[in-house]
Amino acid sequence: MNEILNTVITLLPISFVSAIYIYAVVQLIKLGLNFLKYADMGTRVQSLLNTALNETSGERIKIIKFHMPKQTLDYIPYLFMSCQYEAFREGKEPAGHILSRIPIAPFIKFLEDLRDKYVILDPQNRDPIVSPIGYELVIAREESKTLCVMLKNSTYKPIGYISLNKHGGFSENDIEIMMKLSKELGSLLEFWDDTDCKAVKKFSFTPK
């Protein structure tokens, strides 16, 4: 009996160290898988934005994500929104940093206008039906017209919106491309944990 007890006492520290080692290895594997998951998501987002920008002959596409959820019954239960991804043509400058941690509350009416449709913002020819403050989001310097479409997750909850900047007007084909893009991006960004929104802009690139 004493021999068994001594053996158990001898093996306990080894088992404890082994358990810690296995736990650490498992956690590292999980971190690695998460990194690969988000790296893959970023690559797919980049490809989708590149394709859409080329197909529409646009100047810039931005993904605006909502973050910092709040426990309310509001249609958009978030506190802030920030530009998380953008694609732009050669010669353009990044604009994502301008749209960082913008309070959502003042823009609720504009965002509700996006509920089930798209909105076109043209500062030179303002639509009286569109919430005036929405035009404040047409930021990027020489860019004049913006097509905005809501991003929704699998339960149709708004998680952000996408915007296309383009000189001239938007064709029906442009609108169809952006509506399709919003559905594809919604499924990709649904589980993205960006509560604290540390990184304002994940990717920017110039399509060929």
Distance between CA atoms of residues 39 and 56, nearest Å: 26
Confidence at residue 198, expressed as pLDDT on a 0 to 100 scale:
41
Q: How far does CA 3 lie from the centroid of its chain?
A: 62
Average pLDDT, the chain: 75
Confidence at residue 200, expressed as pLDDT on a 0 to 100 scale:
37
Confidence at residue 196, expressed as pLDDT on a 0 to 100 scale:
42
Confidence at residue 190, expressed as pLDDT on a 0 to 100 scale:
67
Angle at the Cα of 145 from the Cα atoms of 95 and 134, rounded to 5 degrees? 75
Confidence at residue 150, expressed as pLDDT on a 0 to 100 scale:
94
Residue ranges in the chain modelled with pLDDT below 70: 1-39, 73, 129, 137-143, 190-208
- pTM for the whole thing? 0.72
Confidence at residue 148, expressed as pLDDT on a 0 to 100 scale:
94
Largest CA distance in the chain: 92
Distance between CA atoms of residues 116 and 136, nearest Å: 21
